Amino acid sequence: MAVKTQELKLDIKRIGAVSAILMQPDHVRACYVLAHGAGAGMRHASMEKIAEGLAERGIATFRFNFPYMENKQGRPDQPAVAHAAIRAAVEEAARLCPELKLVAGGKSFGGRMTSQAQSKAALPGVKGLAFLAFPLHADKKPSTERAEHLGGVTIPMLFLQGTRDGLADLGLLKPVVAALGTKATLHEIEGGDHSFAVLKKSGRTNDEALAEVLDTLAAWMDGLA
């Protein structure tokens, strides 16, 4: 399968420009606006692997750096800045891929900021949100406060979570997802941690666990109206 990769600049109003990458396979049926996690930018090997894996499954990805990552600042941006970056990315992805079904979300922090942005004001054209390891709480500090805004999201949501994820106690996440009703789906990756890595004794590899993540995501996207 041929894949076209474009290096872009994304202009965020009143904030500045950041780097972005559109990866588009030739037989494409949807586009995922893929925001990175707090500690690793859009070019991190894990983000590359996700984008390449989705391309193999006929899904385009629009990746971008949050301003703090672009400017090599240690601390993640304030939510208002992150939300502005996500809105700009969604608008640009819609402009570049006008015929494609649009889904937004991303890894950990990026997914949480996307859901916050959506809860404040709908992201134009986005049909669903997909979270690659939603960070429900800080490590070893179980809480559900970070999920309170999810009730304000009215489009379908997919939570892909490892059962060993230290940032999402499943005993807390399951009732959160259940309370969201039919619009929310939880898919557990058995033995996966916050990066979906599995222990050797599990009998499968990290690549196999990631394939389950991407297969599930692609199938869910296909099912969206």
CA distances from 196 to 130, 167, 169 (A): 15, 12, 14
Dist CA 134 CA 107 (whole Å): 7
Q: How far out from the chain centre does Cα 204 lie?
A: 24
Amino acid at site 62: F
The number of folded domains in the chain is 1
- The pLDDT, as a whole number, for residue 225 is 84
Compute the radius of gyration of the chain from its Cα atoms: 16
CATH code at 175?
Answer: 3.40.50.1820
Contact (Cβ atoms closer than 8 angstroms) between residue 34 and residue 106: yes
Is the C-alpha dihedral spanning 151, 152, 153, 154 positive or negative?
positive
> How much is the pTM?
0.97
Neighbours of 51 (CB within 10 A): 23
Reported as type and span, the H/E element at residue 23 is: strand 16-25
Tokens 């990631």, located at residue: 210
pLDDT tens string, the chain, 225 residues long: the values are: 899 999 999 999 999 999 999 999 999 999 999 999 999 999 999 999 999 999 999 999 999 999 999 999 989 999 999 999 999 999 999 999 999 999 999 999 999 999 999 999 999 999 999 999 999 999 989 999 999 999 999 999 999 999 999 999 999 999 999 999 999 999 999 999 999 999 999 999 999 999 999 999 999 999 998
CA distances from 131 to 34, 39, 105, 136, 165 (A): 9, 16, 5, 11, 13
| E strand segments, 58-146 | 59-64, 101-107, 126-132
Shortest CA distance to 121 belongs to which of 149, 89, 101?
A: 149
Shortest CA distance to 101 belongs to which of 28, 22, 159, 164?
A: 28
- The pLDDT, as a whole number, for residue 74 is 86
Dist CA 65 CA 71 (whole Å): 9
Q: Which domain, by its residues, includes 110? A: 3-223
Dist CA 18 CA 15 (whole Å): 9
Dist CA 104 CA 92 (whole Å): 12
